[in-house]
């Protein structure tokens, strides 16, 4: 007998040699029906996995977590590849992973798939699902695996196998006539999938290398219930209406130009939004005793060797030569922050030192990955670096957590937290990484904050806590992060004079809240569908005179509003008032003041709200008091 420790802490004894699926069925028939994969001692495995020893077992379903969804979506990517091979036998297969919101598969094709082709592919996928093909896993030696894929003419699979160690045992999955190189996990049969949809296609380079073959990537989604697909399609339709690229153009916030791919241009209204957001950031940081600094966007190569970025991040950096010396545009603000700290001696009495920087950073992104403000080549990080003594670590992390919580609640965002641990290409000793990771865990425990562990996804210099906000459509965005770093203080020989008069090494926190000002503006635009809260709106009030007879009064009202820093525009076009109101609504203006003869005579304003419509007639003083209160309270 072996003992299984389940997720809820209970222990189940079973006979050795049973599969995960057998265990799920013993727990309940419902769980067995819904199960997609499992984790055994933290390793994600198939339901067909045989249990041979005592272990921790967690069974995943589509609805329980992302691992459960990914097994489902990964299986569907194989169904799509099988359908395409049936319809287009000459197509070559590349890779087909699950991603956080579905799956994709890359294909080498003579010509891109047309809409008609995609409809045929979707129909063939439905046939494969209806056939309910059992999915079998088998393993081959590296040599036999190469022979199998060469026999099928799959050159990309052969290349992937050749990159594996010579003594590797390589896994494959087979469903009907289709076999694919894959580590898994996968469902037990194709019939478990109930609803599928091909969503879009794009070009992609093999292995992300623009010098390699250009492939066609097809994205899709699938669900265990047709109703779930219907809900997802509705969400996508709503997301399309909220697309920040579309709204950014309509609301004149920002523009993208072919002369600067990945380098956004902010227009006047976008700059107002951006600056209001930055003013809010500055107010909070001044309150919490951060000192703002600014460091150069270009520094010499030696600095980037010292920081470790040249070794670990060079492929993402833009470089240039000045006086025959290599320089790089900064991809991160931290090395400059190290030089600022090192500029003078520090005493333990000064610590913690909190420095904030709205630093413009540049990172090379593949052209195919660029996406409005979400994925750009230059962006402004709302960075901060906190230098402290070891006994201040927990309290400083908690302080940052509280600040992040305050900001996200201000915008109405829910969020969840992930702890990302040591990656493969890391710097530093095991002892330093253990100390840093434990420091983050201790702060999470003291805050009673639930968190998931994201193995191997830490920064190369330290573990991190990532904050994932959820927007009004339920989509998740990783924004805030807290990184505990023992490496850079060591590499830059940072010190402070301790109470004993000796030099000591400070510990450092890296942290961002928005993450990227540009990306956060994109998220806010979609979250609010362009209808920003009053305090954020580039134009807060639109004054709509009914005729030219009210222009003098209109200008008087506008000047009165401006005295209180209320952002106002006048629509004095010779158009009907209904047309002007509709135009202001389309521009998402929070308040419209309609001025006619009665308003002029009584020294009042007729107020309309973009959401609630007509609010009635009030004095200008009453309206100013109302809008000022909303702005001062950062009302959502």
Residues carrying an active site annotation: 334, 363, 381, 383, 385, 464, 510
Residue 187 in tokens: 């469902």
Classify burial at 77, counting beta carbons within 10 Å of its beta carbon; exposed 0-12, middle 13-18, buried 19 or more: buried
Tell me how long the chain is: 636
What Cα–Cα distance (Å) separates residue 76 from each residue in 69, 99, 191, 272, 600? 11, 12, 10, 45, 66
What Cα–Cα distance (Å) separates residue 205 from each residue in 81, 106, 137, 148, 210? 18, 9, 29, 25, 6
Classify burial at 379, counting beta carbons within 10 Å of its beta carbon; exposed 0-12, middle 13-18, buried 19 or more: buried
Residue 104 in tokens: 């994709």
Measure the CA–CA gap between 567 and 268, rounded to whole angstroms.
Answer: 13
For residues 93 and 105, the answer to whether their CB atoms sit within 8 Å is yes
Spell out where 313-450 has E strands: 319-322, 325-329, 353-362, 378-388, 414-420
Contact partners, residue 573, CB within 8 Å, separation at least 6: 580
Q: Which helix (H) or strand (E) holds 363?
A: none
For residues 105 and 217, the answer to whether their CB atoms sit within 8 Å is yes
Torsion of CA 394, 396, 398, 400, to 10 degrees: -150
CA angle 180, 182, 186 (to 5 degrees): 95
Q: Which helix (H) or strand (E) holds 428?
A: none
Closest CA to 387 of 302, 485, 256: 485
Residue 163 in tokens: 């990159």
Residue 54 in tokens: 């005592």
Residue with tokens 């960075």: 383
Measure the CA–CA gap between 256 and 270, rounded to whole angstroms.
Answer: 13
Classify burial at 14, counting beta carbons within 10 Å of its beta carbon; exposed 0-12, middle 13-18, buried 19 or more: middle
CA angle 534, 535, 537 (to 5 degrees): 60
One DSSP character per residue, 141-152 reads: EHHHHHHHHHHT
For residues 417 and 449, the answer to whether their CB atoms sit within 8 Å is yes
What Cα–Cα distance (Å) separates residue 15 from each residue in 20, 41, 52? 12, 18, 9
Closest CA to 400 of 412, 413, 382, 414: 382
What Cα–Cα distance (Å) separates residue 181 from each residue in 103, 159, 220, 307, 402? 16, 11, 20, 39, 46
Residue 44 in tokens: 């994600």
Q: Which residues are bridge partners to 510 per DSSP?
A: 385, 483
Measure the CA–CA gap between 349 and 351, rounded to whole angstroms.
Answer: 6
Closest CA to 439 of 401, 405, 392: 392
- DSSP count for the chain of H helices, then E strands: 20, 33
What Cα–Cα distance (Å) separates residue 26 from each residue in 30, 88, 459, 578? 10, 43, 41, 67
């Amino acid at each position: 007998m072996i003992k299984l420790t389940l997720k809820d802490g209970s222990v189940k004894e079973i006979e050795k040699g049973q599969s995960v699926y057998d265990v799920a069925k013993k727990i309940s028939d419902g769980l067995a029906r819904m199960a997609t994969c499992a984790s055994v001692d933290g390793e994600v495995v198939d339901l067909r996995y045989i249990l041979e020893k005592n272990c921790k077992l967690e069974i995943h379903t589509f609805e329980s977590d992302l691992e459960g969804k990914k097994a489902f979506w990964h299986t569907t990517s194989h169904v799509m590849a099988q359908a395409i091979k049936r319809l287009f036998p000459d197509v070559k297969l590349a890779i087909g992973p699950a991603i956080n919101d579905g799956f994709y598969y890359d294909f080498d094709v003579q010509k891109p798939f047309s809409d008609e082709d995609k409809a045929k592919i979707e129909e063939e996928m439905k046939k494969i699902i209806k056939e309910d093909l059992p999915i079998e896993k088998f393993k081959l030696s590296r040599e036999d695996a190469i022979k199998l894929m060469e026999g099928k003419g799959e050159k990309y699979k052969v290349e992937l196998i050749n990159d594996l160690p010579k003594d590797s045992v390589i896994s494959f999955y087979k469903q009907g006539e289709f076999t694919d190189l894959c580590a898994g996990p996968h469902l037990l049969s194709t019939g478990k999938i109930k609803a599928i949809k091909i969503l879009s296609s794009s070009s992609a380079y093999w292995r992300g290398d623009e010098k390699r073959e250009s492939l066609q990537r097809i994205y899709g989604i699938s669900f265990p219930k047709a109703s779930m697909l219907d809900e997802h399609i509705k969400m996508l339709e709503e997301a399309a209406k909220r697309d920040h690229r579309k709204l950014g153009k309509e609301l004149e916030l920002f523009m993208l130009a072919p002369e600067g791919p990945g380098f956004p241009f902010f227009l006047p209204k976008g700059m107002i939004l951006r600056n209001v957001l930055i003013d809010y950031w500055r107010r909070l940081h001044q309150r919490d005793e951060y000192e703002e600094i600014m460091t150069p966007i270009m520094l010499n190569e030696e600095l980037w060797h010292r920081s470790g970025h040249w070794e670990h991040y060079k492929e993402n950096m833009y470089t240039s030569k000045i006086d025959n010396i290599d320089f790089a545009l900064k991809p991160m603000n931290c090395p400059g922050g190290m030089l600022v700290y090192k500029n003078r001696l520090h005493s333990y009495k000064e610590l913690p030192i909190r420095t904030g920087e709205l630093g413009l950073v540049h990172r090379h992104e593949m052209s195919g990955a660029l996406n409005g403000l979400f994925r750009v080549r230059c962006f402004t990080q709302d960075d901060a670096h906190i230098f402290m003594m070891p006994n201040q670590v927990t309290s400083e992390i908690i302080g940052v957590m509280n600040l992040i919580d305050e900001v996200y609640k201000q915008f109405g965002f829910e969020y969840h937290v992930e702890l990302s641990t040591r990656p493969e290409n890391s710097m530093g000793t095991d002892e330093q990484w253990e100390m840093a990771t434990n420091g983050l865990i201790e702060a999470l425990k003291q805050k009673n904050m639930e968190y998931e562990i994201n193995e191997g996804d830490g920064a190369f210099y330290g573990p991190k806590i990532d904050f994932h906000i959820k927007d009004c459509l339920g989509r998740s965005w990783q924004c805030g992060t807290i990184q505990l770093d023992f490496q850079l203080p060591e590499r830059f020989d940072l010190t402070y004079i301790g109470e004993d008069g000796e030099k000591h090494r400070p510990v450092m926190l890296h942290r961002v809240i928005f993450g990227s000002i540009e990306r956060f503006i994109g998220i806010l635009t979609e979250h609010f569908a362009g209808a920003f809260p009053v305090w954020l709106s580039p134009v807060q009030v639109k004054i709509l005179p009914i005729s030219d007879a009210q222009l003098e009064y209109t200008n008087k009202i506008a000047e009165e509003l401006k005295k209180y820093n209320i952002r106002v525009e006048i629509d004095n076009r010779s158009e009907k008032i209904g047309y002007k109101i509709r135009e202001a609504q389309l521009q998402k203006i929070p308040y419209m003041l309609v001025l006619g003869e009665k308003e002029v005579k009584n020294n009042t304003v007729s107020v309309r709200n973009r959401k609630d419509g007509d609010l009635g007639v009030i004095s200008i003083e009453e309206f100013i008091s109302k809008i000022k209160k909303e702005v001062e309270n950062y009302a959502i």
